[in-house]
């Protein structure tokens, strides 16, 4: 979990630093024209720039996510859960760093977004880690897999089969 957390946070902050070092705010650079470009923006809100006037709420939420995952980390005994939760925490931490330390003020900072998909969104590496990791977590939940890798429904079915035999 810690490695995924560090990779997500590190890649996110490195790519944001590269964008801010090499691009002007508002600049667009085609990457795979017309389906992908770099478009440097500062986002005070959440996904799709929702909630631009309540940046502090996102700051608190992201901090809570990181703290919660840190608290339950010792209970995780299943690699897919460790990967998923490490990705969520690392992505949340990447955007939390922006909110805490970027302009305009502590806790109200704007997030650097730059990956642009036309008619969809402009996002960053942290967002990608959060979304992909949440999809993985949802699949684990859907399959009924606990943090330790056990599937209680499968265990109940086995014990019922054993009793019937």
Q: What residues act catalytically?
A: 113, 127
Let me know: does 113 contact 122? Beta carbons within 8 Å: yes
Task: Find tokens 């389906």 and name the residue.
Answer: 35
For residue 73, which of 61, 60, 83 has the smallest C-alpha distance?
83
CA dist 83 and 162 (Å) reads: 34
Strand pairing partners for 72?
Answer: none
Interhelix angle for 125-142 vs 2-22, to 10°?
150
In the 8-state DSSP scheme, what is residue 42?
A: E
Strand pairing partners for 111?
Answer: 43
CA dist 85 and 165 (Å) reads: 39
């Amino acid at each position: 979990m810690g490695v995924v957390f560090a990779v997500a946070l590190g890649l996110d902050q490195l790519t944001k630093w590269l964008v801010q070092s090499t691009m002007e705010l508002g600049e667009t650079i085609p990457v795979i024209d017309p389906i992908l470009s770099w478009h440097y923006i500062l986002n005070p809100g959440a996904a799709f720039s929702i909630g631009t006037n309540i940046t502090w709420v996102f700051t608190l939420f992201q901090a809570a996510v990181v703290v919660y995952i840190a608290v339950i980390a010792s209970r995780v005994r299943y690699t897919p859960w460790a990967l998923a939760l490490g990705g969520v925490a690392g992505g949340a931490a990447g955007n939390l760093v922006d909110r805490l330390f970027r302009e305009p003020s502590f806790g109200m900072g704007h997030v650097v977004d730059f990956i642009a998909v036309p008619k969809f969104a402009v996002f960053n590496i942290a967002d990608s880690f959060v979304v992909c990791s949440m999809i993985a977590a949802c699949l684990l939940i859907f399959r009924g897999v606990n943090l330790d890798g056990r599937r209680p429904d499968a265990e109940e079915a086995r014990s019922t089969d054993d009793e019937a035999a």
